[in-house]
């Protein structure tokens, strides 16, 4: 048989040692007597500390004389580069070829070849025992302990996360609302791809799946039956602690689905909250919705979708833009084209919300420039001429008035399309806010002679 590769038996003493037969009964508990194969001399190992010593420990009985060591290695009569050694485990001689770092049981020939077959693994050799340094020993112990703690924590977390409490979750009726583990490939919050290192963790509040880095906090959620702390994601932890009435992650999950019905459901819940509760503008909620990419989702929900979806999303945008904190976030995406598309909806409420959102997005000259590029001026003039609802007429007048403030010829295009005649008709309304909006726009247009002539022709003022 091939010689066996000797394995390390001590943590802090890596040299290979041969156990002395029968020595265990002559030593105090926790000690072993071993033999250094290179010298044949006995030494003693403290199994608790890993320390070694040539001297017997206190209280040790007289130890038997160790077996005589094998003959020292000899290289006489061997080809150049070869050396004879003795395997300390079996006592058999073997040969080392230092040229190619191989070993063989067979006596090499003058040609330098071994005895045929693959050379065996080279045996390891013991070094003389040395006293372990206390500092190095403690450092190694600390390092091993730290690694053990880290691995234990990792496996405990993984074992106890989604599998250990399934019965409790089913009993509370929450697990059926969880995201599918099989179909989820990326973290809901960070979009990091799951793998061997990045494991999946369900948040007990929103039911979505996250990497451990953003889903390691715990809290009680009595409202859904969790009276003891359970794992939640960072977004839900902050919401539960604040007492927010709506779970934003649940609504964003609906907006990320493939169902327009679910888009409408999620947008409606967020719109109701935004319209009624200033807590919607809390910095933590704003940051969470930004991280979850709400602006991009709303842009997608407006583009080419049904009138019902466009209506509820436009309402959500109008409600959100009551709060200044959301304006910069929504300015990150191009909402103007989808909003102009929503103006084709048969729903007056959808149109009102869309124009109100456009008004907020175009408070700056840069925003109005974007609206012109998107063809918004012509669309709004057509809307002004065709609108029947007074609220829609009012918000349309406000947007067009803001465009007349710029040094452009927008006024000329309005006059050429008959906007002045429509505005004169609105002055007969009994709604003061509509009268005010119409008069403001008329005043801006009448700064130009052509527009004044039109207003006079309409019988609104002397020629």
DSSP symbols for 372-439: HHTTHHHHHHHHHHH--SHHHHHHHHHHHHHHHTSSSSHHHHHHHTTHHHHHHHHTT-S-HHHHHHHH
CA 64 from centroid of its chain's CA atoms: 65
> Among residues 316, 344, 373, which one ends one of the domains?
373
Scan for tokens 């919401």, then name that residue: 239
pLDDT of residue 165: 44
- Among 354, 373, 392, the domain boundary falls at 373
> How far is 451 from 448, CA to CA, in rounded Å?
6
CA distances from 212 to 203, 234, 269 (A): 10, 10, 28
φ and ψ at residue 227, rounded to 5 degrees: -90, -10
Distances (CA, A) of 123 to 85, 94, 424: 10, 9, 105
Q: What are the C-alpha distances in Å from 363 to residues 34, 234, 319, 342, 422?
A: 88, 35, 16, 20, 24
The CA distance from 287 to 54, in Å, is 68
CATH number of the domain to which 228 belongs: 3.30.40.10
**352 lies in some domain:** yes
Closest CA to 365 of 397, 398, 405, 392: 405
Structural domain that includes position 354? 267-373
Q: Which residue do the tokens 């960070």 mark?
A: 190
Q: In 321-347, which ranges are continuous DSSP H helix? A: 327-330, 336-342
What number of helices (H) and strands (E) belong to the chain?
Answer: 18, 11
Query: What is the model's pLDDT at position 51?
Result: 78
Catalogue the E-assigned strands of 169-261.
Answer: 201-202, 209-210, 217-221, 226-232
* Residue 26, pLDDT score: 65
d(CA 76, CA 91): 19
Tokens 């509760």 belong to which residue?
277
Q: Do 349 and 385 fall into the same domain?
A: no
Q: What secondary structure letter does DSSP report for 155?
A: H
Instruction: Report d(CA 42, CA 32) in Å as an integer.
Output: 10
Which tokens in the block code for residue 446?
């009448």
Q: Hey, which residues does 270 pair with through a beta bridge?
A: none
> CA-to-CA distance for 87 and 321, rounded, in angstroms?
83
* Total domains present in the chain: 3
Q: Say if CB 281 and CB 321 are below 8 A apart.
A: no
Q: Are 201 and 278 found together in one domain?
A: no
Inside any domain, residue 147: no
345 and 313 in a single domain? The answer is yes
At 107-125, the pLDDT tens digits run 887 654 444 444 444 444 4
In a domain, 297, yes or no: yes
Residue 203 shares a structural domain with residue 233:
yes
Q: What sections of 100-204 are H helices per DSSP?
A: 134-161, 166-172
- CATH no. for residue 416? 1.25.10
Q: What is the pLDDT of residue 18?
A: 38
Tell me, yes or no, whether 364 and 322 share the same domain: yes
Q: Give domain status of residue 90, yes or no.
A: no
Q: Domain check: are 200 and 277 in the same one?
A: no
Shared-domain flag, residues 223 and 302: no
Domain boundary, last residue among 373, 406, 439: 373
Return the pLDDT at 459: 67
Distance CA 235, CA 145 (A): 33
Let me know: does 438 contact 426? Beta carbons within 8 Å.
yes
- What pLDDT is attached to residue 108? 82
Assigned token pair, 357: 């959102």
Residue 167 falls within a domain, yes or no? no
Q: From the CB of residue 123, how many other CB atoms can be counted at a distance below 10 Å?
A: 20
Q: Tell whether 354 and 397 lie within a shared domain.
A: no
* Whether residues 385 and 423 fall in one domain: yes
Q: Could you tell me if 68 and 61 are in contact, meaning their C-beta atoms sit under 8 angstroms apart?
A: no
pLDDT at 91: 73
Inside any domain, residue 221: yes
Task: Please check whether residues 401 and 428 belong to one and the same domain.
Answer: yes
Residue 307 lies in a domain: yes
Residues 348, 403: one domain?
Answer: no
Residue spans of the chain under pLDDT 70: 1-26, 37-38, 61-76, 88-89, 101, 110-176, 459-463
428 and 361 both lie in a single domain? no
Measured distance CA(367)–CA(374) in Å, rounded: 11
Residue at 447 is within a domain: yes
CA distance 250 to 247: 6
* DSSP strands (E only) in 113-260: 201-202, 209-210, 217-221, 226-232
């Amino acid at each position: 048989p091939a010689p066996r590769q000797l394995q390390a038996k001590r943590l802090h003493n890596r040299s290979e040692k041969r156990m002395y037969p029968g020595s265990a009964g002559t030593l105090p508990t926790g000690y072993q007597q071993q033999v250094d194969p290179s010298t044949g001399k006995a030494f003693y190992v403290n199994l608790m500390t890993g320390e070694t010593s040539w001297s017997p420990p206190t209280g040790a009985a007289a130890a038997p004389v160790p077996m005589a060591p094998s003959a020292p290695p000899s290289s006489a009569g061997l080809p150049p580069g070869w050396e004879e050694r003795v395997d300390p485990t079996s006592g058999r001689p073997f040969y080392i070829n230092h040229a190619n770092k191989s070993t063989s049981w067979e006596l090499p020939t003058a040609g330098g070849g071994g005895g045929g077959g693959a050379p065996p693994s080279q045996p390891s050799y013991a070094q003389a025992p040395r006293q372990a340094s206390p500092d190095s020993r403690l450092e190694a112990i600390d390092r091993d302990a730290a690694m053990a703690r880290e691995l234990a924590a990792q496996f405990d977390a993984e074992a106890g996360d989604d599998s250990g409490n399934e019965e409790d979750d089913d009993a509370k009726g929450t697990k059926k609302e969880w995201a599918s583990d099989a179909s989820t490939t990326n973290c809901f919050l960070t979009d990091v791809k799951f793998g061997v290192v990045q494991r999946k963790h369900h948040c007990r509040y929103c039911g979505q799946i996250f990497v451990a880095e953003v889903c390691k906090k715990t809290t009680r959620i009595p409202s859904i039956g969790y009276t003891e702390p359970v794992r939640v994601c960072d977004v839900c932890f902050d919401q539960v602690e604040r007492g927010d009435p709506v779970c934003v992650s649940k609504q964003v999950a609906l907006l990320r689905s493939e169902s327009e019905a679910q888009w409408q459901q999620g947008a409606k819940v967020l719109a109701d909250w935004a319209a009624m509760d200033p807590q919607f503008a809390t910095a933590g909620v704003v940051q969470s919705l930004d991280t979850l990419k709400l602006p991009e989702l709303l842009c997608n929900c407006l583009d080419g979708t049904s009138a019902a979806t466009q209506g509820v999303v436009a309402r959500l945008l109008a409600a959100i833009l009551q709060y200044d904190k959301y304006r910069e976030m929504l300015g990150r995406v191009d909402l103007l084209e989808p909003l102009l598309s929503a103006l084709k909806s048969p729903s007056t409420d959808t149109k009102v919300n869309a124009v109100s959102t456009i008004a907020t997005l175009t408070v700056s000259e840069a925003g109005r420039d974007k609206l012109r590029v998107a063809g918004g001026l012509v669309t709004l003039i057509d809307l002004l001429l065709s609108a029947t609802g007074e609220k829609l007429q009012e918000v349309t007048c406000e947007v067009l008035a803001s465009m007349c403030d710029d040094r452009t010829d927008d006024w000329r295009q309005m006059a050429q399309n008959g906007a002045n005649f429509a505005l004169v008709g609105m002055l007969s309304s009994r709604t003061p806010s509509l009268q005010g909006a119409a008069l403001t726009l008329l005043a801006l247009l009448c700064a130009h002679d052509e527009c004044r002539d039109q207003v006079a022709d309409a019988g609104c003022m002397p020629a």
